Structure 1
Amino acid sequence: MSTPFRHVALFGKYQAQGVRPILEEIAQFLVRGGVEVSVDHDTAMNSDWLDYGAMRIDELAQVCDLAVVVGGDGTMLGIGRELARHGIPLVGINQGRLGFITDIPATNWREALAPMIKGDYEAESRPMIEGGVWRDGEQIFQGFALNDVVVRSSTSSMIELRVTVGADHMANIRSDGVIVASPTGSTAYALSAGGPILHPGIGGWAMVPVASHTLSNRPIVLPDDQEVLLELVQGKEASANFDMHGLASMLLGDTVRMQRSQHKARFLHPRGWSYYATLRNKLHWHEGTA
């Protein structure tokens, strides 16, 4: 049992219809329990909901000790990236579809949230990728990713990437693109491209070619304690995407450099939460008769 939370920051997917009513209910629930509430600036402004003020993320991080996010995994990823450097844990209430990390259904958030606010929860940390794009010895772009880094062409044409891991040249990969995914991102784009699922406790990244032009280029799990470099050797209109949020256009000779971030995203789950149960539920795995 951990220390109860005192000040909660509320975030919502304000583009979704009907998010304000549930945010209002959560805020009232928290206040009745003696918890102070503040609301993310973008959520408040776009929902026309200023009852609890409107603070930007850096401001919230100075006063709040927990973030409650209402939305889907995409919303959770965006907030998780921003709050990781502040060490603020997140709880996700799912209004999306899959919900691998926003694991509390919107239908029973009260039952799940009540004990968590009092300090009764399961906690985990998820590693992040940080890096950027380098050109002629200079960094021209910096990005952070909780899910993945993707290099591909906007024209869906073949590109060739020279892959270096640490000091070792690994391979030249010709494909429609290459995904480097964290364990969190291993159940996203990398999974749909045929990559493996990585347990969050594994210190590694999944590197997955997208539609490889050489059948022997297969997904591989790389250690995350070494820098990974992807140099663009061939291809037009290529770009590097960090969580599909940060986008940098690349020229021939440009290199994407990635390393394990010193920051981790902290997620809290209801007591009894299981990563394997999440996989069974979301991927519809057969549970057997036992």
Structure 2
Amino acid sequence: MKVFVYGLQVKDEEEYSYAKVLIEALIQEGIGILLYYQFANELRKYSDEFVDIATVARYEEIKKALPEATITLGGDGTILKVVTLIRDLPIPILGINLGRLGFLASVEKKIIKKAVRQFSAKEFTILERSMLELSSNKTLFTSFPYALNDFTLNRRDTSSMITIHTFVDDVLLNSYWADGIIISTPTGSTGYSLSCGGPILFPDSHNFVITPVAPHNLNVRPIVLPDNKRISIKVEGRTNSFMCTLDSRYETITSEYQIDIRKAPFNMKFVQLKGRHFMKTMNEKLLWGFDKRN
């Protein structure tokens, strides 16, 4: 068995200690390791004890090695970054949370050794999470036009609202007067969309959520629709510059852009360790079921 260990930075000695615990636990279980080259360089700032571990940097190298899983050290943002690297490869992700909330990186750093033992003993299931795909009449996100969490379109360089004409299968749904709009997958429903009043969807739901950002009309609310629909967007405003994002990546567009959002032709796979499930994550991260008054 071989795994790809991915991280972006090692901020301090404490984070290095968690990386060391992970690597040593993998070695103890007889699991082969591939390190992301940038993460390997970060580790070398603190010690040379892992310099002999092989490194990879590009999609093609990962495809050739084809590890059984990817283990990330960081937060949900780290997982969104590694998705752009492993792309459509059938490599499930196990996220270890060194950040704050961590809906995707659900393994807490204090149980790294236990998580590795469970993984080695194959005490897990594989969950598939849908992705969204972006296409446009102009060049946009050409290197990887897919997102695990969401697509967003927001105003830029102005305090005025923008108008976002939104169509579903070429039929007008609404013209939103708002600061922006979010189109999220079930995975992304616990992110930016949630903070703007959107609903939480179970990860295996086959839906999109359209959530307006600060809409002017009070009767405009988030809407859930099947993910077999195609969502088309045209935007206009007092300026001709708008901010468009796919997960953590962003580009600037104008009103000349016609954008289509649809379900991607592939899913992203995740490792769910035995004893973990979505409702438990909700309880822990959102403190559901925990009332300090009791």
Provide the rounded CA distance (Å) in 2 between the counterparts of 1:261 and 1:276: 26
Deviation, 1:279, is 0.7
Once the two structures are superposed, the pairs formed by residues 4-83 of structure 1 within 5 Å of their partners are 6-18=1-13, 19-48=15-44, 50-58=51-59, 59-63=61-65, 64-83=67-86
What residue in structure 2 maps to residue 239 of structure 1?
A: 243
Give the distance between the partners of 2:109 and 2:8, measured in 1 at CA: 13
Once the 2 structures are TM-superposed, how far is the Cα of residue 44 of structure 1 from its aligned partner? 1.2
* Distance (whole Å) between structure 1 residues aligned to residue 238 and residue 55 of structure 2: 45
Q: Distance in 1 between matches of 2:201 and 2:10?
A: 31
Structure 2 CA distance, aligned partners of 1:193 and 1:102?
A: 22
CA distance in 2, matches of 1:218, 1:253: 27
TM-score, with length taken from structure 2: 0.89
Offset at 1:15?
A: 4.9
What residue in structure 2 maps to residue 154 of structure 1? 156
Matched, 1:109 2:112: yes
Q: Deviations over 1:61-86 (max 9, x none)?
A: 32211111111111012113432411
Taking only aligned residues, the RMSD between alpha carbons, in angstroms, comes to 1.8
For the residue of structure 1 that corresponds to 2:204, the secondary structure is: coil
2:202 corresponds, among 199, 202, 215, to: 199
Unmatched 5+ stretches in structure 1: 1-5
Q: Which amino acid is 1:276 matched to?
A: M
For the Cα contact (< 8 Å) 1:129–1:258, is it kept in 2? yes
CA shift in 2, pair 1:183/1:21, >3 Å: same
Q: CA deviation at 1:235?
A: 4.2
Gaps of 5+ in 2: 45-49
CA contact under 8 A between 1:240 and 1:250: conserved in structure 2?
yes
Aligned sequence identity (%): 26
The answer to whether residue 245 in structure 2 is matched with residue 249 in structure 1 is: no
Preserved CA contact (<8 Å) 2:170 2:232: no
> 2:154 and 2:121 mapped to 1: Cα distance?
45
Q: Measured at CA, do residues 274 and 249 of structure 1 come closer, stay the same or move farther in structure 2, by a change above 3 Å? A: same
The one-letter code of the counterpart of 1:153 is R
Indicate if the aligned counterparts of 2:80 and 2:248 stay in contact, CA closer than 8 A: no
Q: Which amino acid counterpart does residue 7 of structure 2 have in structure 1?
A: G
Check conservation: 1:182, 1:206, Cα contact below 8 A.
yes
CA deviations 1:91-140 (Å, max 9, x no partner) are: 111111111111111011111220212211032111111113324xxx44
Q: Contact between 1:84 and 1:264, CA under 8 Å: does it hold in 2?
A: no
Deviations 1:213-255 (A, max 9, x none): 111221001211121111013342212111131x221212312
Matched, 1:128 2:125: no
Pairing of 1:170-249 with structure 2 (within 5 A): 170-236=173-239, 237-245=241-249, 247-249=250-252
One-letter code of the match for 2:35? V
CA contact (8 A) 1:207 1:221 kept: yes
